[in-house]
Structure formats: structure tokens, C-alpha cells
Amino acid sequence: MGKPLRTSLLASLGMVLAVAGAHAQTVYRIVGPDGKVTFSDRAPDSNAKPAQGAWQGSAAAVGSALPYELQQIAARFPVTLYTGSDCAPCNSARNLLVGRGIPFAERTVNTNEDIEALQRMGGNNGLPFATIGGQQLAGFSENEWTQYLNAAGYPQQSLLPPNYRRPPATPLVAAKAAQPAASDAPAGRTPAERPRLAPRIDGPSPSNPAGIRF
């Protein structure tokens, strides 16, 4: 085999190996909805809908999804704040959560039904009241609340997207539908069937000799 032919074959073989190597290097890193990382030579489906995080409910992000890291924390340790009207400590607690970028649900306690529900939940009716996962916080202490948020893994700085909108506050106990007014007529009897009253007779009579009037 001549030298020119050998050189040509080696060059062709090198090109084939280079192409094969290029194909072998096309590996895709895929992060599943549970955070598990897998590698595949197939590109992920761009038309597939993004997996929904476990965190749902009244504290869900409005207008945008939560970042994955924050979504996972909120799924394990959801935060709910219970507030009342004209409550300065409630405002301080809300400002702490908002300023730190904590996704939370807010429940208002204004009616007797709300107060009773809060009493059953936390053993007292003091406000503000909050739950971080299964932990209950009665009254507001910035240091204490910060410690529990840190322990739950919430970031020190807000990770919320710019278009995040906090869900509106809702009553702790849903308002009951108004009951229809009861009819004056007995059930099954129309007004025309009401018994007629005997005409009143003023003055003494054989049945009312004293002439008592009502």
C-alpha cells in the first residue's frame, strides 16, 4: 500500500471517529419533578407540560410558578398566617414574611366562628398566629419566627419571581349561606287557609262579663 493511500485511509478513519465521538458526547441532563437527576442521549420533550410541585392551595403562586427550591420547601413546611383587623403585631408578622419572600396563605379571624376555630386549633385566640409545617407560633416575635423559618430551610433573601402575586386573605371559617326566612303560614297551608279569628267584641259580653280587652 502506497504512502498516499495509507494517509488517505487514516484521515478518513479519523473523521469517522471524530463524528462518532461528537455523537457520543451529546448527553442531556434531565431533572425530574422529584429532583432526581438522570442522563439521556435523547433530548427532553419541549412540548411536555412542566411537572406541578406538591405545594398547592391558597398560598399558591399567582401569575407564575415558584422556583423549584422554594417550591420544595413550601411543600414540606407550608406557612399559614392568621390575622385580625386593627392588629399591629399582625402587620409586623405579615411584613416579615413578605419582606423575606415567604409564600404563605393568610386567614382572617373576625367572627365568633373564626375565633372558635382558632381556639380549637391553637388552644388560644391570640393574634397573630402562624403555622410552619406542624409548628405553631402564637404571638409575634421576629427573632423566634426567623429561627423557625431558618430551620425550615427558607432562604434568607427572596427568591420569588418579579411577577409573583400573593393570594388574597380569606376568612378562617367560610361564610354560611343565608337561610330563607320562614313563612308565617304553617307548612302545607296557604294564606287563604289561615283560620279566621272571631271578631272582637268591645265591652262586657256573656262570655267576657268584665269586658277585658287585649
pLDDT bin (cut points 50, 70, 90) of residue 88 is: very high
Q: What pLDDT was estimated at residue 10?
A: 46
Q: What is the pLDDT of residues 169-210, one digit of tens each?
A: 999 998 776 566 555 545 555 555 554 544 444 556 554 554
Asked if residue 73 lies in contact with residue 154, where contact means CB atoms within 8 angstroms, the answer is yes
Residue 33: left (phi > 0), alpha (psi -120 to 50), or beta?
A: alpha
Q: Which of 52, 40, 35, 117 is nearest to 80 (CA)?
A: 117
Q: What pLDDT was estimated at residue 50?
A: 39
Please say if the pLDDT value at position 90 is more than 70: yes
- Please report how the helices 142-152 and 88-100 are oriented relative to each other, as an axis angle in degrees rounded to 10: 30
Distances from the Cα of 147 to the Cα of 66, 119, 137, 144, angstroms: 23, 25, 11, 5
Please report the DSSP string for 124-138 in residue order.
S--SSEEEETTEEEE
Using CA atoms, how far apart are residues 207 and 214, in angstroms rounded to an integer? Answer: 15
- Residues facing 79 on adjacent strands: 104, 132
Predicted TM-score of the model (pTM): 0.56
Q: What is the pLDDT of residues 104-160, one digit of tens each?
A: 999 999 999 999 999 999 888 899 999 999 999 999 999 999 999 999 999 999 999
